[in-house]
Chains A and B, each alone.
Chain A
Amino acid sequence: MTELDSLVAPTLTFLIFAPLLAGVVALLWPRGLVLDLLSISLGAISLVLLVPLSGTVMGQGPLLLELGGHELPLGIPLYVDGLALAMLWLTALTGLGTAVYASGWLRSVSHPSGQQYRVLWFLLWSGLNALFVSGDLFNIYVTLEITTLAAVPLVALARGREALSAAMQYLYFALVGSILFLLGVALVYAETGLLALPELSARESEAAGPGETIALLAITVGLAMKAALFPAHGWLPRAHAAASPPASALLSALVAKAAAYLVIRLWLGPFEAAWTPAVAQLMGVVGVLGILYGSLQALRQHRLKPVIAYSTVAQLGYLLLLIPLASVVAWQGVIYHALVHGLAKAAFFLAAGNLILGIGHDRLVGLAGCDRVLSKNLLAMAVAGVAIAGLPPTGGFIAKWWMITAALEQGQWWWAVAIGMGGLLAALYVFRVVSFAVHSPRPWHEEPLRETRHGLNRLLLWPPVLLAAAAVALGMTGELLAPFLAVGAPEVSP
């Protein structure tokens, strides 16, 4: 066991088990206010703890912590590298923002199953943290199950026929996905006798047998079903649109990304030998098709939340682009994109939630004139949209820049064109939504000037604004974060 400085183990333990214990407390003692304070303080503490962790990862490269003190092939390792770190930061930031929003939202809507929401959130949070740091295939399977079983009830939390049918479909997709994933794990174990990712990556990558490739493909299909990658995305838009605002923010920003994160983690880490460049190109094509299809669908929607949900489907396509492009710059670009997209999508959904609270429905046509009612909120939504579209002042642009540079450096210019197209289409559907909001059919002097009809309480307004600001701030810190993201990047062609 490599000698780790004293703070890593407690941090990782805190990240995984503290939310778990909080979940247990939430079940035992359903006091709303106390639980909200607990979740906000947990979020703050995890942010504080992440700073030294990042320092250590930066210093000593990818960290390896064997749980229970057992040497590798036997015990389950926790593996933290640039990618995992970025995801942990994203979970902590989005989690904190959503927790604050949820505390305000649950109270203002006086939701009957408020307590359930908090339990689900805590367990989801611990599941996500565990998933991002887990270094063992079967352990990843279990954490994936936790994420799914926490996400489906979150969707079902929003009462009504649409929510239930979406939750049902989501559950079945996830069920089949997890079984395929388990098949993949079984085949890998049978073929290699190994479960730990560091061990799998460390193998001298001689030509992998057919078993390993089929295992990888089974895992990929499983993850595709869970992460709603293009052909298997059917459930995501209706689920994320039907869910309540804080839930859909968590789903789109974190849960969808978790499965996609695993695709990259497995393809570029342990199973590098299992695929050839031709296969990688095909994965890239699937990603691009996802981007185009998601954007086209988003342009077609008549209601606000489906637009944002389809945008998630589209943005997930970008993650697949890392497979054909697997260089350090591409690695940084895609992770940065995942980070910015997570924050921006959460901000977008929360702002949309405020809009729906403000005007009672989310039909796009009905948004007209709400720019006068919730201008700050709309601004946050617009900025988040701009970040998703990857336009300059925001972090999205830095990510797009990196990805296109990577594509051009390796001569695969068609990915660059696809990324550009993706950005344009994203801009189109973002500005379509904003122009609906700005549209004021009746001449302005008939509508009285007022900032918000009934004051949007502070807890609801500031999370989207701060998350959008974070997405913009990421635009400035490219240089700062680049070395962090490069830790553990695959040493494929630079």
Chain B
Amino acid sequence: MTGWLFSVTAGLLFAIGLYGVLIRTELVRRLLAANVMATAVFLFLIVVAAETPDGPDPVPQAMVLTGIVIAVSLTAFALALIRHFRAVTGESDPEGGDDD
């Protein structure tokens, strides 16, 4: 099985996500990067689940399912907040203002 391939991909995906979080200050982009990181972790979990000796282990899959739902709800709330933040302040990220 090409488990090693997917775990390596998971690691690299995590790196890409981390890079996105570090570089991007624009809110939606940073959210995307975060989601990519989350997906990378889920990928790793499912790889572990798949490669458990006798048959796919349901626990990580359940964890990932729950993770996805949580990721969705976080993303939804974040997007609502972004929309309101931009409507109120007109800026694209909270760090911009150097108001002390």
Contacts and interface: CB of A to CB of B under 8 A. Distances in A.
Contacts of A167: 81
A179 B13 CA distance: 13
Interface stretch (A96-104, A158-166, A476-484): A158-166
Contacts of A185: 63
B82 A149 contact: no
Contacts of B74: 145, 149, 171, 175, 178
B34 A175 contact: yes
Chain B interface category by residue count: 20 to 34
A165 B85 contact: yes
Interface string A136-156: 001000100100010011001
B38 A182 contact: yes
A169 interface: yes
A101 B30 CA distance: 38
A167 B80 CA distance: 12
B88 A161 contact: yes
Interface of B: 14, 17, 21, 27, 30-31, 34, 37-38, 41, 44-45, 48, 59-60, 63, 66-67, 70, 73-74, 77-78, 81-82, 84-85, 88-89, 93-95, 97
A346 B34 CA distance: 33
B44 A164 contact: no
B5 to A, nearest CB: 16
Q: DSSP class of A's interface residues: helix, strand, loop or mixed?
A: helix
Given A167-B81, A178-B74, 19 more contacts: A149-B73, A153-B77, A156-B84, A165-B94, A166-B94, A168-B27, A168-B81, A168-B85, A171-B81, A172-B27, A172-B34, A172-B78, A179-B17, A182-B38, A183-B14, A186-B60, A189-B63, A190-B45, A190-B48
Contacts of B81: 152, 156, 164, 167-168, 171
Interface of A: 138, 142, 145, 149, 152-153, 156, 161, 164-169, 171-172, 175-176, 178-179, 182-183, 185-186, 189-190, 195
A142 B70 CA distance: 8
Nearest to A180: B37
A-B pairs, top 9 by smallest CB distance, nearest first, are A165-B94, A168-B94, A190-B48, A169-B94, A179-B37, A164-B85, A186-B45, A175-B34, A183-B41
Contacts of B31: 175
B34 A179 contact: yes
28 contacts: A138-B66, A142-B66, A142-B70, A145-B74, A149-B73, A149-B77, A152-B81, A164-B85, A165-B85, A166-B94, A167-B81, A168-B94, A171-B74, A171-B81, A172-B78, A175-B34, A176-B21, A179-B34, A179-B38, A179-B41, A182-B41, A182-B67, A183-B41, A186-B41, A189-B45, A189-B60, A189-B63, A190-B48
B47 to A, nearest CB: 9
A9 B14 CA distance: 41
Nearest to B47: A190
A122 to B, nearest CB: 17
A186 B10 CA distance: 12
Q: Name which of A152, A169, A171, A179 has the most chain B CB atoms within 10 A of its CB.
A: A179
A153 B73 CA distance: 13
B37 to A, nearest CB: 5
Contacts of B27: 168, 172
A185 B70 CA distance: 15
Nearest to B84: A164
B78 A175 contact: yes
A474 B45 CA distance: 45
Contacts of B85: 164-165, 168
A190 B44 contact: yes
A152 B27 CA distance: 16
A176 to B, nearest CB: 6
B48 to A, nearest CB: 5
A283 to B, nearest CB: 23
B25 to A, nearest CB: 10
A189 B41 CA distance: 12
Nearest to B75: A175
B34 A186 contact: no
A56 B4 CA distance: 49
Contacts of B21: 176
A145 B48 CA distance: 24
A165 B89 contact: yes
A288 B93 CA distance: 31
A167 B78 CA distance: 10
A152 B38 CA distance: 20
Contacts of A189: 45, 48, 59-60, 63
B34 A138 contact: no
B58 to A, nearest CB: 10
Contacts of A190: 44-45, 48
B11 to A, nearest CB: 10
Contacts of B14: 183
Contacts of A195: 59
A45 B81 CA distance: 36
A17 B97 CA distance: 42
